[in-house]
Amino acid sequence: MSQGTFWYWRKLLRIDEPVSEEYLKEFKSPLVIFRPLFYLLVYILCKLYFRVKVFGIENIPKNQPYILAPNHQSALDQTMVSYAIGRKRREDLYTLATKLFYDRPVANIFIKIATNALRIDTVEDFFPALRAAAKVLKLKSSVYINPEGTRSETGQLLPFRVGVGVLAVETGAPIVPVYVDGTFRSMPPGRYFPKPVQITVTFGKPIYMDGYFKKKENEMAYDVYKEVTDELFKRVSLLKVGNKDI
């Protein structure tokens, strides 16, 4: 009975509807004029204050859209990953920002300078954000999503939410597991000024969706999305313990 339900998810995500190229402009705030200056400051801080190290940047797929899926333990995370991927990839990246962050006036200005932000309501209604992210991927741009849904209060990984699996399987975009280390020690939730702690950003090998397409024809779609999400959790956990060849 419950087999092969992906068609319903696709209907909810409106994944087969055409998308105008103009769509991406909705997420490019006029504040982007400050982005070069912002990242110049970030560059100086990353080099001198955080002594950021980046591993596995070659794992980011070329010439195709992808989903960056890092752990989340600090307000610094998104900026550190954006710094690590470089200017060109950064400009083509769209970040799902939780409404708790997006709806605060100062944070809203900050996030619109730092990235092309898509507001997500992880508690009440996440479908509009998933729909928006799917459209972004269809237009060959990439998406940044925190699979934990919120910042970890302890520095330990929280369970991953299945939305990232839905997005990947239904758009075919590979997921790049990312582990950001040091940001929790530098600026955990509740702290507003970062300590000078070394930060590392490690990109794992992408998880491609080819192997999952057939499964979703015959299995309950949720189970396939969950399997992808569980695999991502496993990969990020391995990156966390220092296994950089994942």
Partner 1 sequence: MAEIEQEIKEMVAKIIKVDERMIKPDANIFIEYGVDSLLGVEILAGLDKKFGLDIPEEKLKEIKTLNDIIRIAKETISKKA
Q: Which residues bind partner 1 (CB under 8 A)?
A: 1-2, 5, 7-9, 12, 124-125, 127, 162-163, 166, 220-222, 225-226
In the complex, least distance from residue 108 CB atom to partner 1, rounded to whole angstroms: 26
Nearest distance in Å: CB 4, partner 1: 9
Least Å distance between CB 207 and partner 1?
Answer: 19
When the beta carbons of 39 and 233 are compared against partner 1, the nearer one is 233
* Cα 101 to chain centroid, rounded: 15
Q: Nearer Cβ to partner 1, position 67 or 199?
A: 67
**CA–CA dist 176, 160 (Å, integer):** 14
Whether 206 and 61 have beta carbons less than 8 Å apart is answered as yes
Shortest Å distance, C-beta 175 to partner 1: 17
Q: What residues have CB less than 8 Å from 21, skipping those under 6 apart? A: 139
Show Cβ contacts of residue 93 under 8 Å, excluding neighbours closer than 6 positions.
68, 82, 85, 115, 116, 141, 142, 143, 144
d(CA 214, CA 233): 22
Six token digits for residue 169: 């399987």
Smallest gap from Cβ 130 to partner 1, in A, equals 10
Nearest Cα to 236, choosing from 70, 111, 106?
Answer: 70
Query: Which is closer to partner 1, CB of 179 or CB of 225?
Result: 225
- Residue 103 vs 125, nearer CB to partner 1: 125
Q: Report the DSSP beta bridge partners of residue 144.
A: 68, 95
Minimum Å gap between C-beta 194 and partner 1 is 34
**Token pair for 142:** 């990439």
Closest-CA residue to 145 (of 124, 130, 159): 130
- Based on CB atoms, which residue is closest to partner 1, 128 or 196? 128
Residue closer to partner 1, measured from CB, 95 or 229? 229
